[in-house]
């Protein structure tokens, strides 16, 4: 074989391993070869250990074709999300959802579910309910008319 030439052969199969779990995971291999004149060379011995591959995880190689397919799927998904040339966006405030669940639990001892949305007997307050700008408070209190009784 010329330098850097590689000879690859399948010597094991995951399908066979699933059928017969008693198959060995380690192989002692001896490569025998001769030079270009036919003179035998010293054999090379290797240990092929398949134990690191026992977990059964395989890597799928993907090429540019797979990337093009994925971009096509993204394009289709975005087209479905468009209405009148505008992108429809749905926002879910996860922090508020957690706070709301905790608020319900603190008042009732139970968490919201599909059967019981408000275990505390009423919806959780809005996170904006107690929000008030400081300048609004100053203006409100300064413009109040105070009536004195005599």
Q: What is the pLDDT of residues 49-65, one digit of tens each?
A: 877 777 666 667 889 99
Name the β-bridge partners of 82.
87
- Greater model confidence, 145 or 48: 48
pTM: 0.31
Q: Is the pLDDT of residue 143 over 90?
A: no
User: What does the pLDDT look like over 64-114, one tens digit per residue?
Assistant: 999 999 999 999 988 888 888 787 777 777 888 888 888 888 888 888 888
Percent of the chain with pLDDT over 70: 78
Q: Do 112 and 104 meet the contact criterion of CB atoms below 8 Å apart?
A: yes
- Tell me the CA distances in angstroms from 120 to 3, 96, 99, 108, 125, one per residue in order: 77, 16, 14, 5, 11
Residue in the block written with tokens 């011995």:
45
> For the residues 27-43, what does the mean pLDDT come to?
89
pLDDT over threshold 70, residue 44: yes
Distance (Å, whole) CA 123 – CA 112: 10
Strands 44-49 and 82-83: unpaired
Q: Domain segments of the chain: what residues?
A: 14-53
């Amino acid at each position: 074989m010329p330098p850097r030439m590689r000879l690859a052969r399948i010597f094991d199969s995951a399908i066979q391993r699933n059928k017969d779990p008693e198959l060995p995971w380690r192989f002692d291999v001896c490569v025998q070869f001769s030079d270009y004149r036919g003179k035998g060379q010293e054999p090379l011995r290797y240990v092929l250990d398949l134990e690191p591959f026992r977990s059964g995880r395989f890597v799928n190689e993907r090429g540019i074709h797979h990337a093009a397919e994925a971009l096509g799927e993204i394009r289709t998904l975005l087209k479905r999300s468009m209405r009148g040339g505008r992108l429809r966006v749905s926002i879910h405030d996860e922090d508020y959802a957690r706070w709301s669940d905790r608020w319900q639990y603190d008042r009732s001892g139970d968490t919201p579910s599909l059967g019981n949305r408000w275990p505390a007997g009423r919806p959780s307050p809005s996170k904006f309910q107690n929000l008030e700008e400081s300048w609004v408070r100053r203006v409100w209190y300064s413009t109040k008319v105070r009536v004195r009784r005599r």
